[in-house]
Amino acid sequence: MASAEQQENHDEEEGGDWIGLGVAIAAVAALGAFWLMSWQLAFLLTSVVVISIVIWQACDPFADAAQWIGTTLGIPGSVRGATLDAISSSLPELFSGIFFVVIAISAVQGNDPAAIEAAGAEGFGSTIATCAGSAVYNMILIPAIVTMTIAFYRRTRPTIDVEDEVLARDGIWFLLCELALLVFLFQNKMYWWMGLVLMGMYVVYICQLYRDTIVYRKRLHALKEYFTAKGLDTPTPTVISELAAQNVKVHYLLVDKIREEIKEGSFDENEDEDEEEAPEGAGALFGFVEIPLSHVTAWLIILVSTVVAVVACYFLVESTRHTAVALNVPTFFVAVILAAAASSVPDTFLSIGSAMRGDDSGAVSNAFGSNIFDICICLSVPLLVNSYLVNWGPVSLTQDGEPIAGLVGLRISLFVLTGVTLAIMWHNRQLTFRKSLVLCGLYGLFIAYAVLGSLGMLEAIGL
- For residues 23 and 53, the answer to whether their CB atoms sit within 8 Å is yes
The whole-number pLDDT of residue 400 equals 64
- For residues 56 and 349, the answer to whether their CB atoms sit within 8 Å is yes
For 300-342, the pLDDT digits (tens) are: 988 888 888 889 888 888 888 888 888 887 777 788 777 888 8
Distance linking the first and last C-alpha atoms of the chain: 52
For 348-394, the pLDDT digits (tens) are: 777 777 677 666 666 677 777 778 888 899 889 999 999 888 888 88
Q: Predicted confidence band at 453 (pLDDT cuts at 50, 70, 90)?
A: low
Tell me how far apart the alpha carbons of residues 59 and 61 are, in angstroms, rounded to a whole number: 6
The domain ranges of the chain are: 4-461
Residue 173: its H or E element: helix 172-185
Closest by alpha carbon to 430, among 358, 372, 361? 361
Of 63-67, 214-218, 332-336, 353-357, which gets the smallest average pLDDT? Answer: 353-357
Degrees, nearest 5: CA angle 20-26-32: 135
On the question of pLDDT at 179 being above 50, the answer is: yes
For 73-119, the pLDDT digits (tens) are: 766 555 666 666 667 777 788 888 898 888 888 888 777 788 888 88
Exposed / middle / buried, residue 194 (Cβ in 10 Å: 0-12, 13-18, 19+):
buried
Q: What's the CATH fold of domain 4-461?
A: A middle domain of Talin 1 (1.20.1420)
- For residues 206 and 81, the answer to whether their CB atoms sit within 8 Å is no
Indicate the angle between helix axes 192-230 and 360-373, nearest 10 degrees. 160
Beta strands 398-399; 402-403: pairing state:
antiparallel
Closest by alpha carbon to 324, among 314, 334, 338, 339? 334
